[in-house]
Amino acid sequence: MESVIQARRLAISYRLHKLLGRLALWFAVLVVISPAVFVFFWMLSLSLKNEIDNIAYPPVFIPNPPTLTNYLKIFRESNYALFSYNSVIVSGTATLIALLVGVPAGYGIAKGKAQGLGMLIMVARITPGLSYLIPLFMLFRFLHISGTLLALMISHLVITIPMVVWVMISFFEDIHPELEEAALTDGCNIWQAFYRVAMPIARPGIAVAAILAFIQSWNNFLFGVVLAGRETRTLPVAVFNAMTFEQLSWGPVAAAALVVTLPSLLLTIFVQRDIVTGLAAGGIKG
């Protein structure tokens, strides 16, 4: 009898211990994700409230009732459709060109045929953005293409190419050399080994590289703020201007901020699992 009670007591204490461990873990999870959740929640909250609620103190947390006025306002009063189009064209083209030149380059570096290029890309990673921006700014003036989408797109290659090359190096390095060697002994030349053997295997890597490069280009502010003209502003530049002109009009600014960042966040969900691989290649920021 005595031993049965003791066993039961032990079982309860073990279960309690496990439960406490679970609770501690969930508490830690809550602590860890709450800063991210809160800032995004606040962004959404500001964008769905009217101006009176937005500058109320103590702050109104849950929009009641939520309003879409801020979103309608930014699309009606400012040319956000045009700025979105600019962003898509600039980031889309810069990503596409980066894939065309960067995937083969990454292959060359990974196979040890272009180490100098790898070194160069590494130095590019640590160089401050302004060391590209000033010369490119002068070059575009000289070519009379200042303020055009073409100029912006060229400048964004500085962001997208190193990103694509980095990610692709790590993907190509993971491919077993025997595969290509087999292709080469079967009479393929190195281009065929790359195009017919390595490329299909590295396809998921190409998708990750494309998405990461696109996000980095989409998020870029510095190149746009200097190089864009009135009609060629990209979204981050347009949103920044919204803040300067509407000092205390928080709702529209928050709505614009959310519109800008939503595509990056949605794309992130797709590559969430693979981002770690991209990171192994040397860091996310361009």
2-10, 53-61, 63-71, 143-151 -> range binding another protein (CB under 8 A): 53-61
Using CA atoms, how far apart are residues 86 and 76, in angstroms rounded to an integer? Answer: 17
* 14 interacts with another protein by CB under 8 A: no
* 275 interacts with another protein by CB under 8 A: yes
Closest CA to 255 of 56, 63, 85, 87: 63
In this structure, are residues 78 and 84 in contact, taking their beta carbons and an 8 Å threshold? no
Show the site string, 79-108: x = touches another protein by CB under 8 A, - = not. Answer: ------------------x--xxx-xx-xx
* 52 interacts with another protein by CB under 8 A: no
CB of 243 to another protein, least distance (A): 5
CA–centroid distance for 23 within its chain: 33
5-13, 171-179, 187-195, 202-210 -> range binding another protein (CB under 8 A): 187-195
CB of 42 to another protein, least distance (A): 6
* 23 interacts with another protein by CB under 8 A: no
Single-letter amino acid code for the residue at 153: M
* 281 interacts with another protein by CB under 8 A: no
Q: For residue 234, how many other CB atoms are within 10 A of its CB?
A: 30
CB of 13 to another protein, least distance (A): 18
Residue 147, SS3? strand
Binders of another protein in range 136-175 (CB under 8 A)? 136, 138-139, 141, 154-155, 157-158, 161-162, 165
**Residue 73 or 125 having the CB closest to another protein:** 125
CB of 10 to another protein, least distance (A): 19
Using CA atoms, how far apart are residues 7 and 62, in angstroms rounded to an integer? Answer: 50
Number of residues located near another protein, criterion CB under 8 A: 92
CB of 206 to another protein, least distance (A): 15
Encoding tokens for residue 168?
């692709």
Closest CA to 54 of 260, 242, 247, 237: 247
CB of 224 to another protein, least distance (A): 9
* 33 interacts with another protein by CB under 8 A: yes
Binders of another protein in range 188-227 (CB under 8 A)? 190-191, 194, 215, 218-219, 221-222, 226
Using CA atoms, how far apart are residues 123 and 115, in angstroms rounded to an integer? Answer: 13
Longest Cα–Cα distance in the chain: 96
With the C-alpha atoms ordered 101, 103, 104, 107, is the resulting torsion angle positive or negative? Answer: positive
